[in-house]
Structure 1
C-alpha cells in the first residue's frame, strides 16, 4: 500500500476535481526591489523568471525560482508567463511603487505581534557550507543552527525582515520521531 499522507482530524480524501492542483508560489511584499533582488539572486542563486508590471495599479511582481541544470525557460514572454505559473517553489516579490522612497516604511514580518505569517524555508545541500556563505555575505540571523532547542536549523532575515528557515534535509530525519 502506498503512502497517502498523514491522517489527522479534519483531513479529507483528495477530491478528483482537484487533481493536478499544485502550490505554485508564495508572495512577499518588498520595499525596495533592487535590494531584495540582489539578496535573493546573490544569496540564494535564484533567477528572475518573469516580471509583470501593473501600471494602472502601481505595482510590479517579480517571480523568482531555481532552475534544474539544463532546464530551459521559454524566451517568448507569454509562454514564459504560462511556464512560470506551472512551476513549484516560486517566490513572488511584490513591489508597490514608491515604498522605496518612504523613510521608515516597513512591512509586518508576521513574527511580531500580532503573529500571523511566519517564514519561508530553503533546503540546502550542506548546512555548514550555507552558514559560511551567509556569514561571507553579511546575512542577518534570527537564530544560528547551534542556538536554541532546535539544533541544525537556522533562521535568517531578508532585506524586509522576513524570516527564512534554512535546513539540510539529511539532518531533519530524526525530527518529529517518537523515542
Structure 2
C-alpha cells in the first residue's frame, strides 16, 4: 500500500480576493472548480503548472466571518527559483509577515492569515 499527496486545503472567507492573491503572489492557476448543487460551497483547485500537487481553496457560503486560526502553526512551503526577486515582489505587495535571513527563508501571509513559506530552490 502506497499513499501519495493529492492536495492541501485552506478554507477562505473571500474566494475572489484569495484567488487574486494566489495568482499574483505565487503564480498559481485554477485547474478545477466544483460548486455544490445547492450553492453552499465552492472548491477551487490551484496548481503551479509544474508539479502535480494542488492547493484546494474552500469557500463556504454561510461563513459570515474570517476563520479563527488560533495558534495554527501549519504552513505550506513553496520553492522559488529567484529568491531575491520574489522577496522584493512580496514586499511590494505588503504580504511579507516574517523574514529569517539566517535560515534563508521568509513567509508571506494570505488574505485569511495563513502563512506561506518561501524557500530558495537549491
TM-score, normalization by structure 1: 0.62
Tell me the distance in 2 between the aligned counterparts of 1:41 and 1:142. 18
Matched, 1:124 2:80: yes
User: Higher relative CO (CA 8 A, sep ≥ 6), structure 1 or 2?
Assistant: 2
Structure 1 unmatched ranges of 5 or more? 1-16, 69-86, 171-179
SS in 2 for 1:144: strand
Structure 2 unmatched ranges of 5 or more? none
Alignment: residue pair count: 122
Instruction: Give the match for residue 97 of structure 2.
Output: 142
Instruction: Judging by fraction of residues, say which structure has more strand.
Output: 2
Instruction: Give the match for residue 47 of structure 2.
Output: 65
CA RMSD of aligned residues (A): 1.8
Instruction: Give the match for residue 59 of structure 2.
Output: 95
TM-aligned CA deviation for residue 98 of structure 1: 4.2
TM-score, normalization by structure 2: 0.88
Tell me the distance in 1 between the aligned counterparts of 2:76 and 2:35. 24
Moved runs in structure 1, 4+ residues, more than 2 A?
A: none
Whose radius of gyration is greater, 1 or 2? 1
